[in-house]
Amino acid sequence: TETETRTHHDGKQQIRRAVAETSSVEDVFDDTYKEQEGPKPPTMLVWRNIILMSVLHVAALYGLVLLPSASVSTLAWTAVCYLISALGVTAGAHRLWSHRSYKASFPLRVFLALANSMAFQNDIYEWARDHRVHHKYSETDADPHNATRGFFFAHIGWLMVRKHPDVIEKGKKLELSDLKADKVVMFQRRHYKLSVVILCFAVPMFVPWYFWGESLSVAYFVPGFLRYAVMLNATWLVNSAAHIWGNRPYDKTINPRENLIVALSAIGEGFHNYHHTFPFDYATSEFGCKLNLTTAFIDTMCFLGLAKDPKRVSKEVITARVQRTGEGSHKSG
């Protein structure tokens, strides 16, 4: 049995290496990392963030109260702002810059960087760095939003405390030269604060007030704060809900799951068991555009010649993986 175990282990290593080779970035789970033994470092609260997040959510609730008095145009504009900022995260920071799952032309990268500033979720460089450690050291001390610390921590709590030292230590060792070499990413990082003030707050508020005479308070609280808070929570649900609830058709040994509600609110990012199994697939799902607006967007960009080389996993590889590590809940289509 010892040889058997070794063969099994070698097999696993080989698969990990093969997977790593198809992926040009460090987003593949590293099972050699071991958490330090003994007591965990104490949780250090960051009161500034706790207060700011509370204020944001109170402002968003006020936006909810004002919602019935918003004009139809303002509601449509709010939806547009939601979609643009969501795409800046899903098609931009996530599928393009964290995972390099397709290639994007300069004009598309400029659009995605602007959309990303509208989402105000840390600049692209920081987001992609934290996301690569999330995949490589998923659900350990070195994962920034380690879901084994519970729903609240994975959802929002991790933004209100100092990071575990292993997140920073492992993060500093990551290969990030592709991000440093991307002029659009570094430009956004240099001018991040100004871009957020303009794109996340000023523009969403100015447009309805200036173009169709919406009241300043509705313009401020609905497409501004309410849209921002809902978009943040939809994103965080990928880290919390989609790491806790749902099926695991592709790999039953990991916690990330297929969660349709999250897929819907996060425009295609809820197929999280598939995504952690095949992080380099541009669709982040076996089923292409199904419940997946981001994939439809990238397909459209490829059709228009603004993007190319979307990476996909073959049916054979998926089927083999489903049979080897799936929990038996796989449905085709």
Identified binder of ligand ST9 from the candidate list 6, 17, 162, 315, rule CB under 6 A: 162
Identified binder of ligand ST9 from the candidate list 104, 184, 232, 293, rule CB under 6 A: 232
Identified binder of ligand ST9 from the candidate list 66, 86, 241, 307, rule CB under 6 A: 86
Q: Smaller CB distance to ligand ST9: residue 109 or 129?
A: 129
Euclidean distance between CA atoms 91 and 97, whole angstroms: 9
Identified binder of ligand ST9 from the candidate list 163, 191, 252, 290, rule CB under 6 A: 163
Q: State the binding partner of 13 from Zn ion, ligand ST9, none, CB within 5 to 8 A by kind.
A: none
Owner of token pair 């997977």: 19
Euclidean distance between CA atoms 26 and 100, whole angstroms: 10
Q: Considering the rule CB under 6 A, would residue 239 count as an interface residue with ligand ST9?
A: yes
Question: How does DSSP classify residue 285?
Answer: S
Compute the least distance from the CB of residue 172 to ligand ST9, in Å: 5
Q: Smaller CB distance to Zn ion: residue 246 or 256?
A: 256
Q: Considering the rule CB under 6 A, would residue 200 count as an interface residue with ligand ST9?
A: no
Euclidean distance between CA atoms 222 and 121, whole angstroms: 19
Owner of token pair 């049995």: 1
Mutual orientation of helices 124-136 and 165-172 as an angle, nearest 10°?
A: 100
Identified binder of ligand ST9 from the candidate list 182, 258, 269, 281, rule CB under 6 A: 269
**Contact (Cβ atoms closer than 8 angstroms) between residue 154 and residue 243:** yes
Identified binder of ligand ST9 from the candidate list 71, 122, 247, 325, rule CB under 6 A: 122
Half-sphere exposure of 156 (CA within 13 A, CB side): 14
Q: State the binding partner of 129 from ligand ST9, Zn ion, none, CB within 5 to 8 A by kind.
A: ligand ST9
- 35 — phi, psi (to 5°)? -65, 150
Binding mask 126-155 for ligand ST9 (x = CB under 6 A): -x-xxx-x----------------------
Q: Smaller CB distance to ligand ST9: residue 71 or 122?
A: 122
Compute the least distance from the CB of residue 137 to Zn ion, in Å: 11
Which residues is 271 bridged to in the sheet? 258
Euclidean distance between CA atoms 118 and 42, whole angstroms: 34
Q: Considering the rule CB under 6 A, would residue 188 count as an interface residue with ligand ST9?
A: no
Q: State the binding partner of 163 from Zn ion, ligand ST9, none, CB within 5 to 8 A by kind.
A: ligand ST9
Tell me the two tokens of residue 36.
């330090």
Q: Which positions from 30 through 49 interact with ligand ST9, judged by CB under 6 A?
A: 46, 49
Nearest to 220 by CA among 5, 99, 55, 66: 66
Given phi > 0 = left and psi -120 to 50 = alpha, else beta, which region is 202? alpha
**Contact (Cβ atoms closer than 8 angstroms) between residue 243 and residue 230:** no
In the complex, the residues that contact ligand ST9 under the rule CB under 6 A are: 46, 49, 86, 89-90, 94, 120-122, 127, 129-131, 133, 159, 162-163, 167-168, 171-172, 231-232, 234-235, 238-239, 266-267, 269
- Interacting residue ranges for Zn ion, rule: CB under 5 A: 256
